[in-house]
A and B are shown apart, each in its own frame.
Chain A
Amino acid sequence: MTVLAEPAAETVRTASRLGRGYWAGVVRRLARDPVALVAAAIILTIVLAAIFAPWVAPADPYKSSMIRRLKPVGDAVYLLGSDELGRDMLSRLIYGGRLSLVMGVLPVFFAFVVGSMLGIMAGYAGGWLNTLVMRTVDVFYAFPSVLLAIALSGTLGAGILNAIVALTIVFVPQVTRVAESVTTQIRNRDYVEAARVSGARAPTIVRVHVLGNVLGPIFVYSTSLISVSMILASGLSFLGLGSKPPEPEWGLMLNTLRTAIYTQPMVAALPGVMIFITSISFNLLSDGLRSAMEVKA
């Protein structure tokens, strides 16, 4: 996967780019994109803080204190205040990244794997298999994604696992559609035809000629879904369909703190700020990746 090109490959390639390889070029272009770099740094910080939460967080996120409830931001003991049960907000926000990130990123990852397989299969095979897969996709497209996510997790029942399953089902059709469309484009290229004529079997053609050309665009598209997925995953918890108390999770924290909007508005809004920062960073990084990988929208 070094010199292989993405479908928008009609553009003239410079000698230096061919020489250093495609991925070196992607990294070089990303390094020149300050917005994408800042976004990546923010995501990295949040992820690392979540992973190393026991060492980073100043206090136990579960330890409540009835006499120290709803302290303001900038309190001497609680840097970012305390919640409705007197738990340290900063620590809960740091720990909260664990569930929120897992619930937001995993569905997109699963959808990327399943959707790529379905889409490439449908796109390459064509015929009745394509019709079967794509008409099924059309049915799922007939549901607005928020409605489908809530309908599925509402019927499956509240829970982290069910929320992840529901969101995966929401994103699989979207990834499948993109994968099918890029694969269909590649399938009609002369070099694929040439490989077929020279006797290569379908699995070999897909592995050698198709995968390298389609995975890039599918990957970039999938990264653009992470932001939506984060908002939806926390939204499910916000409705009470995702994680359960006392687990720290941004959406759930936002929900339980709704009662505090009159007494401690700053504290009540904090979990949403985390969702916002993470979601916008993923969006900006995805935009940067798109232009660095020279994938057309």
Chain B
Amino acid sequence: MLAFLLHRLLYVTPVAIGVTVVCFLLVHLTPGDPLTAILPADATLELQEQMKAAYGFDKPLPVQYALWFWKVLHGDLGHSIATGRPVLTEVMRAVKNTLILATVATAIGFTFGTLFGFVAGYFRDSWLDKLASFVSVLGVSVPHYWLGMVLVIIFSAQLGWLPPTGAGPDGSGDWRPDAAHLRYLILPAITMSVIPMGVIARTVRALVGDILSQDFVEALRAKGMSEFGVFRHVVTNAAPTALAVMGLQLGYLLGGSILIETVFSWPGSGFLLNAAIFQRDLPLLQGTILVLAMFFVALNLAVDVLQTALDPRIKRG
């Protein structure tokens, strides 16, 4: 197991370094000088040169990268141009809110996704299967930002049951685990849960179908095992893959929350990214993307290791 862990770490390290290169280059893709956002419009040439030197923009690109990478390794992602606060503090605060939203959404999506997937896989080609499969196609095809709008129209504008935007009654504050804040979580979490629900339902349906068609199931039934006993075998066989898909979905939601957070004004990392883009706050933009991508890499690694630990059929090494 230790050898396997080391092997995975060795594989992930170059990918993680590649991610930092992409994040670094992103800022240099921006049309125009990265300094134009900070400098006053009437800045003298001399001042421009001074600022360039201060930010290190006068050095060759690989040197700039090395200097930036060294800072990143020490947890220094620079300062936000808009607020002047350290980027890492801003990002981590926002990521916490997104993590809450994404975790709840994944839990809802996983519950209903496995339910639909099991029903569809167990009763293959029945009307139940067709219904469950149709629901899962709806889940992967729906533009979730539109679904969010529709839910706001129904439950906020028409019925007035739930608040349309924000994370709590105190405006733009963070989400806290109490009854008042819970009402704010319901709509965005349901909206977000539709994507993992569709994906997980599809995966589980295929898994269950595959498992049921294997010889060992035939053997279990032949030796007189109850249907419930067979069902338990199917669950144990499907669990590692289903859990792995769930983990990956959580990662996708963490990075892909921007549209839903914009609809609901949820104070998470996507909302922060949106603000960074439109205020052309490049350090904040770069930092948010880097942190989210690193979360995703780490989550992938964790899923990979856990799946191998759980599933004895996967060879280690």
Interface size class of A (residues with CB under 8 A): 35 or more
Specify which chain B residues have a CB less than 8 angstroms from the CB of A143 in the assembled complex: 19, 22, 255, 289, 293, 296
Q: Is the beta-carbon distance between A234 and B143 smaller than 8 angstroms?
A: yes
Question: Which one of B18, B149, B278 lies within 8 Å of A142 (CB-CB)?
Answer: B18
Specify which chain A residues have a CB less than 8 angstroms from the CB of B285 in the assembled complex: 151, 154-155
Q: Is the beta-carbon distance between B259 and A235 smaller than 8 angstroms?
A: yes
Q: Is the beta-carbon distance between A147 and B256 smaller than 8 angstroms?
A: yes
Question: Which one of B19, B31, B143, B158 lies within 8 Å of A139 (CB-CB)?
Answer: B19
Compute how far the CA of A254 lies from the CA of B158 in the bound complex, rounded to whole angstroms. Answer: 19
Q: Which of A169-184 contact B (CB under 8 A)?
A: none
Specify which chain A residues have a CB less than 8 angstroms from the CB of B293 in the assembled complex: 142-144, 147
Which residue in chain B gives the minimum CB-CB distance to A153?
B277
Q: Which of A117-146 contact B (CB under 8 A)?
A: 135-136, 138-140, 142-146
- CB A135 to nearest CB in B, in angstroms, measures 7
- CB A263 to nearest CB in B, in angstroms, measures 9
Q: Is the beta-carbon distance between B157 and A239 smaller than 8 angstroms?
A: no
Q: Is the beta-carbon distance between B31 and A156 smaller than 8 angstroms?
A: yes
Check B100 for interface membership: any CB of A closer than 8 A.
no
**Residue of B22, B30, B146 with most chain A CB atoms under a 10 A cut-off:** B146
Tell me whether A147 and B18 are in contact in the complex, defined as CB-CB below 8 angstroms, given that A235-B259, A262-B157, A279-B141 are known contacts: no
Compute how far the CA of A261 lies from the CA of B154 in the bound complex, rounded to whole angstroms. Answer: 10
Check A67 for interface membership: any CB of B closer than 8 A.
no
Q: Is the beta-carbon distance between B150 and A272 smaller than 8 angstroms?
A: yes
Interface size class of B (residues with CB under 8 A): 35 or more
Q: Is the beta-carbon distance between A280 and B137 smaller than 8 angstroms?
A: yes
Which residue in chain B gives the minimum CB-CB distance to A227?
B141
Specify which chain A residues have a CB less than 8 angstroms from the CB of B143 in the assembled complex: 231, 234-235, 272, 275-276, 279
Q: Is the beta-carbon distance between B259 and A154 smaller than 8 angstroms?
A: no
Say what secondary structure dominates the interface of chain B: helix
Tell me whether A268 and B296 are in contact in the complex, defined as CB-CB below 8 angstroms, given that A155-B30, A280-B138, A297-B206 are known contacts: no
Q: Is the beta-carbon distance between A254 and B18 smaller than 8 angstroms?
A: no
Q: Is the beta-carbon distance between B138 and A269 smaller than 8 angstroms?
A: no
Compute how far the CA of A24 lies from the CA of B285 in the bound complex, rounded to whole angstroms. Answer: 51
Compute how far the CA of A279 lies from the CA of B27 in the bound complex, rounded to whole angstroms. Answer: 32
Which residue in chain B gives the minimum CB-CB distance to A263?
B157
Question: Which one of B142, B252, B255, B256 lies within 8 Å of A276 (CB-CB)?
Answer: B142
Q: Is the beta-carbon distance between B206 and A261 smaller than 8 angstroms?
A: no
Q: Contacts A144-B256, A151-B289, A272-B149 given; 6 further ones with Cβ under 8 A?
A: A139-B18, A146-B259, A157-B31, A239-B259, A269-B146, A271-B146
- Can you list 29 contacts pairing A with B, beta carbon distance less than 8 Å? A139-B15, A142-B18, A142-B19, A143-B22, A143-B293, A144-B251, A144-B255, A144-B293, A147-B258, A147-B273, A147-B289, A150-B277, A152-B29, A155-B26, A155-B30, A227-B140, A231-B141, A234-B143, A239-B274, A258-B149, A261-B149, A261-B152, A261-B153, A262-B157, A268-B153, A272-B149, A276-B141, A276-B143, A280-B137
